[in-house]
């Protein structure tokens, strides 16, 4: 059991992944960690996303057409 590796998760990535409104979350994270500089946050996300494939910038699912029943 000595070969167990604990991976420390990045709090910025976790907070952004858990958010529902990504735009607001990015503003809040930029304020909290990057002195209200969203450009620095975007650079940080680009740098960390090069190692992790598509963790943050996933496209949301396209809405499906509503089913209509013919009676």
Question: Looking at residues 55-59, what average pLDDT do you find?
Answer: 47
Task: Compute CA 1 distance to the chain's CA centroid, rounded to the nearest angstrom.
Answer: 33
Q: Give yes or no for residue 55 having a pLDDT over 80.
A: no
Question: Looking at residues 42-62, what average pLDDT do you find?
Answer: 65
How much is the pLDDT for 68?
A: 76
Domain boundaries, the chain: 11-49
């Amino acid at each position: 059991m000595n070969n167990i590796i604990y991976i420390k998760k990045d709090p910025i990535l976790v907070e952004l992944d858990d958010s529902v409104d990504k735009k607001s979350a990015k503003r809040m994270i930029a304020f909290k960690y990057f002195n209200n500089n969203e450009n620095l946050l975007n650079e940080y996300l680009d740098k960390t996303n090069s190692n992790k494939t598509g963790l943050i910038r996933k496209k949301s699912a396209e809405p499906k057409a509503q089913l209509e029943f013919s009676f």
